[in-house]
Amino acid sequence: MIEKALSGGLWNKSNFLNKRVCGLWLIWVAVVIFAGLMAGGKQLIMMPVFSFGYVIGIFGILANKSLSRKLSYGRPTKGQNRMLLFSIILMFVLMVLIGGPHFADENYRLIWLGAFLAIGIHFIPMAWVHGPSMFVLAVLLIADALLGMLDSSLNFRLIAYIDIGVKLLFGIYLLLTGKPLKKAQTETPLSH
């Protein structure tokens, strides 16, 4: 897939310099969801297990400057940083709006499916940060969550395993193919 970027209406693969960090993050989140699913119980995905793993991932992957230097090929642009921030805020707002109302009646199926849907939607603007493969990831995750919401006879574990599998596959893809085709001439070395 030839990836192009916002500059001049074209997507240029050299503009997506942090895909490997995103790939590692997706793999980690898939593992954390799996661990929470295995612990399960009434909550389907045990929230303390998920929350603890998520926080470890934030500090161990996203906030780890040493790891970022090893995995990144350069700094994101200001526009990419703004889009990243927008997509994260969007995800949390959508989680509250879609899944949040179901905390009152403890409908954990809809809480988690709402979270899966919000996460899927938040990958749409991530395309400007990590490339157009994010559109495909978004569509697959959104479809999986909607399928679970629209057909309550589907086993939640099946929907969760599909979500885990999609994140794992895309994480591996981004981790292994994150190197730009060529270094951008204006690129500066990543230093934190």
CA distances from 122 to 2, 24, 133, 188 (A): 22, 17, 13, 28
Predicted confidence at residue 187, as pLDDT, reads 43
Residue among 23, 24, 46, 26 at smallest CA distance from 35: 46
Task: Supply 101's token pair.
Answer: 């109302």
Instruction: Please give the pLDDT value at position 7.
Output: 45
Task: State residue 188's pLDDT score.
Answer: 42
Summarised one tens digit per residue, pLDDT across range 31-59 is: 999 999 999 899 999 999 999 999 999 99
Strands (E), the chain: none
The DSSP secondary-structure symbol of 81 reads H
Helix axes 133-150, 108-122, angle to 10 degrees: 160
The pLDDT of residue 170 is 97
DSSP state, residue 14: G
User: By the 8 A CB rule, do 12 and 5 touch?
Assistant: yes
pLDDT of residue 134: 96
Cβ count near 99 (within 10 Å): 21
> What is the C-alpha to C-alpha distance for residues 84 and 188, in angstroms, rounded to an integer?
20
Rounded CA gap, 50 and 111, in Å? 13
- Going residue by residue through the chain (192 aa), what tens digit of pLDDT does each one get? 334 444 444 555 557 888 999 999 999 999 999 999 999 899 999 999 999 999 999 999 989 989 988 988 888 889 999 999 999 999 999 999 999 999 999 999 999 999 999 999 999 999 999 999 999 999 999 999 999 999 999 999 999 999 999 999 999 999 998 776 554 444 444 443
- The per-residue pLDDT for 182 is 56
Confidence (pLDDT) at 119? 97
pLDDT reported for residue 181: 58
